[in-house]
Structure 1
Amino acid sequence: MPTKPPTTSTSKNIKDLIFITLLAFFFKILLIPSYHSTDFEVHRHWLALTHSLPLSHWYLDETSPWTLDYPPFFAHFEHFLSFFANLVDPIIVDLHKGLNFDGPSVIVFQRLSVIVSESVLIYGVYLLGRKCGFRERVLMWVLVVWSPGLVIVDHVHFQYNGFLLGILLVSLAALEDRNDLLGGFVFAVLLCFKHLFAVAAPVYFVYLLRHYCRGGVFKGFGRLVMMGTVVAAVFVVAYGPFVYYGQIQQVFSRMFPFGRGLCHAYWAPNFWVFYIILDKVLSVLLVKMGFDIKAPTASFTGGLVGDSSPFAVLPTVTPLATLILVLLAMSPCLYKAWKNPQPRMITRWVAYAYFCGFLFGWHVHEKASLHFVIPLAIVAVQSMDDAKHYYLMSIVSSYSLFPLLYEAQEYPLKVLLLTLHVILMWYGFSSQLSKTVVSNTSAQRKKKDDNYDLKKNSGTNPRKFTLNWIEKSYLSGLLLVEVWSQFLHPAFLGIRLPFLPLMMISIYCAFGMMYSWMWQLHWIVKSH
């Protein structure tokens, strides 16, 4: 007689995760008509040029100001999408007629392409969360799939960060599973999609050299050759055709336009904000003291390539200087990866590397904070010591992206996204902490330790998830900055000093970022 299959908690857990994902999917569908930035036309043009031109002309085309400046694999990704775009509406991929095309067909198609490609991110989260408990997985799922920063940047402003971050998470999952060869291969593929992820390459190199290429001279050398061959093969497939065409220098000049300014048009909240402000303050003080200070010859920012030497007093910062500073900031992490390469630490180390690149790198976009916010969500769910600092950092990161959506109709959306994120984080981390305390209490009871204070640490009175007074004060100040920028500045100053709100947001968020980075640095230095 056939028996009815049992209803397991595992199947229910999977259904819950699917429900969370589908809820996010339908919410993002509702955002299709919302505002989009010039990045929307950038990617539409890339669809057109990869569809209309042969491979040998992709990095030479100048039909539009938005020339192709991503690595070849991303160009092939756009080429793949262009076949479907052509079926939807041929004008989307018309190199000349499609310029600045903004019809419903292209809006729906490109929005859906972002949503569908984000399935790679969902798969990456699934891989990293397999060994976690159900609560941890649900919280991980919510923090990543419902990340306000990711929604703002990808599904409103418009980019494909979820797709690219998904590739990163797949690589990290392979490394955590001790499948180093696969992890190195996937990371190489990622670099051929977007070269800015190369900030974590030193961590990958040191970790794989020490963890994968071990086992004696012959075995270690054999593994080194194997890893090198796999990585080199990926780059040969990506860049080999352009070497053949004699265009490799052209490709690299598009990908690395170092002539741009130190900062992006809207200052990313990083270390260089303080450097710029210090230069401005010093120049004003020295002029008042009678010194002859020449005005800067260029701005701090530049969207187009050009020489920039904007500092009046402090030394001019070069791309090489920022590279050295990033490597110095990253050095404690590299030392730990060399001394004791632990798979369970690799996600934290990689996230820290991207944090260093964000704070000290050249011409950093504010959107680059996603490179470390998303991986650190995985870490925070599994460590309550990290949860508090992730809580603050993710709020600061999300708020720093608010200026990307500057139109009035999007204001309720970004406020709602951040508010929901704050509530879900607080509830999720509090629940996790309560569960941890209950588990610890049960373990202590089993040990029958007479010195253990059951009343103080029992599950009926769990330790609460909370912030210290500095963090609470800082977040309160964040609210004041928003009230001034959104309401008081227009009321009292009108159109005067239009740069002031953006500058205030950059500076204030930079304090929060530096605080979170210093905690991460302290944790890595003290970890074993």
Structure 2
Amino acid sequence: WCVSINSYSGAGKSPMYGDYEAQRHWMEVTFNLPVQKWYQNSSDNDLQYWGLDYPPLTAYHSWLCGYVADKINPDWVALQSSRGYESDTHKLFMRYTVMIVDVILYLPAILLFYLFAIKGKTIGERLFLTSIVLLYPGLILIDHGHFQYNNASLGLTVFAVTFVSLGHDLWGSFFFVCALNYKQMELYHSVPFFCFLLGKCFKSSEENGLWKLIKIGSVVVLTFGLCWLPFLRDTDVALQVLRRLFPFGRGLFEDKVSNIWCVLDVLFKLKRNIAPRSSSPPEPSNHYYVFAALCIPFTPQSYHRKI
């Protein structure tokens, strides 16, 4: 409540209006346009104006919120004419959408993790740890202060960690793929997940390990297929979604994620001295080289260690 009564990034500042308008605009676009047009540039979907650049589950979530918004007040998501729309009632609606994700996904995920996946703690200690996580200021300020839904991808990831820790690897794989299809930033967690599950497969007997790997792979492929099904009917549409999710052409500083390049730029002006064309592609590969080395502890020899 204290966070919600304060301002937010871009409040009343045209032409972009900040994160509040970004989330509202995604609801507008997904509700009014066919799914094949959600990531395509058009007169009704100017990608330079908060174009959708998150994976399909975020888009479906935006559509659901847009559907509810239209039932309450069609002006909130009217195509084009709703740009920059701000009202106290709509802000309340937007804040409720974040709280609902907390209640449905994030809160149950954290409770499940600390009550069942953590061993050697009393109930009081587990509830104390749960309260610390739920009251983390960063997430409260970003999600509830600036109309974000990081709690969705984090909740799905925590569900995945919990199920894997409890030995339910298929459910863990399902939830992690869902998290990855909600926010591509979960790619940072994908390598340790992969190494941990692969280590469990290697640790099993040859036949059981191969069968476990096949089952996990099947769950991953099927879940990805279901999430992407509306876009896979047309190759061009699917490729456009990928281009929106991984926009290397934007350069180093417009990916909306803090990274090593932003830190180095304080000392050495990378944007001025290195052409974006040549500096963008190495970033993901360099990250994965580092992650691959760091994930060695999750391979067969120490697979029993919790994530």
Scaled by the length of structure 2, what TM-score is found? 0.85
**Higher alpha-carbon Rg:** 1
- The 1:264–1:97 alpha-carbon spacing in structure 2 relative to 1, beyond 3 Å, is closer
C-alpha separation in 1, matches of 2:243 and 2:299? 33
> For 2:172, which of 168, 177, 183 is the aligned residue?
183
Give the direction of change, closer, same or farther, for the CA distance of 1:233–1:341 in structure 2 (3 Å limit).
farther
- Is 2:86 aligned against 1:122? no
Q: Does 1:106 align with 2:125?
A: no
C-alpha displacement of 1:170: 0.7
Alignment counterpart, residue 247 of structure 2, candidates 221, 245, 257: 257
CA distance in 2, matches of 1:265, 1:331: 23
Distance 2:35 2:260 in 1: 40
TM-superposed deviation, 1:338: 0.9
Deviations 1:118-155 (A, max 9, x none): 12111111111114323432332232211111111111
In structure 2, what residue type is equivalent to 1:36? Y
Aligned pair in 2 of structure 1 residues 180, 48: CA closer, same or farther (>3 Å)? same
For the 8 Å contact 1:82–1:93, the answer to whether it is kept is yes
Within-5 A mapping of 1:121-160: 121-130=106-115, 131=119, 132-160=121-149
Asked if 1 retains the 8 angstrom alpha-carbon contact of 2:55 and 2:183, the reply is yes
User: Against the structure 1 CA distance between its residues 36 and 273, is the aligned structure 2 distance closer, same or farther, given a 3 Å change threshold?
Assistant: closer
1:229 Cα deviation (Å)? 1.0
Letter of the 1:225 counterpart: I
* Residue 267 of structure 1: how far off its partner (Å): 9.0
Q: Which runs of 4+ in 1 moved over 4 A?
A: 264-267, 314-317
What is the CA distance between 1:44 and its match in structure 2? Answer: 0.5
> Which residue of structure 1 aligns with residue 63 of structure 2?
79
Taking the aligned partners of 1:337 and 1:117, their CA distance within structure 2 comes to 31
User: Which of 96, 100, 114 is the equivalent residue of 2:80?
Assistant: 96
Deviations 1:160-206 (A, max 9, x none): 01122111111111111111111111101111111121122121111
For residues 332 and 51 of structure 1, the distance between their equivalents in structure 2, rounded to whole angstroms, comes to: 43
Q: Is the 8 A contact 2:251 2:277 kept in 1?
A: no
Name the CA distance, whole Å, in 2 between partners of 1:230 and 1:109.
35
Picking from 28, 32, 36, the partner of 1:52 is 32
Instruction: Give the residue type in structure 1 aligned to 2:194.
Output: F
Q: Would the alpha carbon gap of residues 316 and 99 (structure 1) be closer, same or farther in structure 2, given more than 3 Å must change?
A: closer
Q: What residue in structure 1 maps to residue 15 of structure 2?
A: none
Asked if structure 2 preserves the Cα contact closer than 8 Å seen for 1:48 and 1:95, the reply is yes
CA distance in 1 between counterparts of 2:256 and 2:179 reads: 27
Contact 2:22 2:50 in 1 (8 A): yes
Distance 2:214 2:264 in 1: 43
Amino acid of the residue matched to residue 251 of structure 2? G
Partner of 1:223: 212
Q: 2:268 aligns with which of 279, 302, 311?
A: 279
SS across alignment from 2:249: coil
| Aligned match of 1:195 | 184
Q: Note if contact 1:175-1:343 (Cα within 8 Å) is conserved in structure 2.
A: no
TM-aligned CA deviation for residue 57 of structure 1: 1.6
Distance 1:325 1:219, change over 3 A: same
Cα distance in 2 for partners of 1:162, 1:199 equals 16
Contact 1:175/1:183, CA 8 A, preserved across alignment: yes
Task: Give SS of 2:40's match.
Answer: coil
- Conserved 8 A contact 1:310-1:316: no
Q: Aligned equivalents of 2:280 and 2:287: distance in 1?
A: 11
Match of 1:39 in 2: 19
Shift of 1:343: 4.9
Residue of structure 2 equivalent to 1:311: 273
Question: Helix, strand or coil: the match of 2:295?
Answer: helix
**Structure 2 gap segments, 5+ residues each:** 10-17
Aligned pair count reads 289
SS in 2 for 1:310: helix
- Give distance in 1, aligned partners of 2:36 and 2:277: 38
Alpha-carbon spacing, 1:159–1:343, altered in 2? closer, same or farther (3 Å): farther
Task: Check 1:334–1:317 CA distance in 2 against 1; reply closer, same or farther (3 A cut).
Answer: farther
Percent of matched pairs sharing the same residue? 27
Structure number with higher relative contact order (C-alpha < 8 Å, ≥ 6 residues apart): 2
Contact preservation (8 Å) 1:181, 1:227: yes
What is the CA distance between 1:34 and its match in structure 2?
2.4
Equivalent in the alignment of 1:492: none
Q: Distance in 2 between matches of 1:127 and 1:249?
A: 37
- Structure-1 separation of matches of 2:216 and 2:255: 39
Kindly report the root-mean-square deviation, in angstroms, between the aligned alpha carbons of the 2 structures: 2.5
Give the Cα–Cα distance (whole angstroms) in 2 for the partners of residues 114 and 267 of structure 1. 21
User: What do the CA deviations read for 1:374-432 (whole angstroms, capped 9, x no partner)?
Assistant: xxxxxxxxxxxxxxxxxxxxxxxxxxxxxxxxxxxxxxxxxxxxxxxxxxxxxxxxxxx
> What does residue range 98-497 of structure 1 map to in structure 2 within 5 Å?
98-119=82-103, 120-130=105-115, 131=119, 132-212=121-201, 214-246=203-235, 247-264=237-254, 268=258, 271-273=260-262, 275-279=264-268, 309-311=271-273, 318-346=279-307
Distance in 2, matches of 1:206 and 1:233, equals 20
Q: Secondary structure at the match of 1:68?
A: coil
Measure how far apart 1:157 and its partner are.
2.0
Task: Please list, as runs of the form range in 1=range in 2, the aligned pairs for 1:57-68 lying within 5 A after superposition.
Answer: 57-62=37-42, 63-64=45-46, 65-68=49-52
Contact 2:30–2:63 under 8 Å retained in 1: yes
Contact 2:152 2:182 in 1 (8 A): no
CA distance in 1: counterparts of 2:302 and 2:65, whole angstroms = 39
Give the whole-Å Cα distance in 1 for the aligned partners of 2:197 and 2:71: 44
Change (3 A) 1:264 1:219: same
Per-residue deviation, 1:253: 0.9
Please give the per-residue CA displacement for 1:300-348, whole angstroms capped at 9, x wherever unaligned.
Answer: 5xxxxxxxx5226x999733422233233323432111143445421xx
Residues 160, 176 of structure 2: 8 Å contact kept: yes
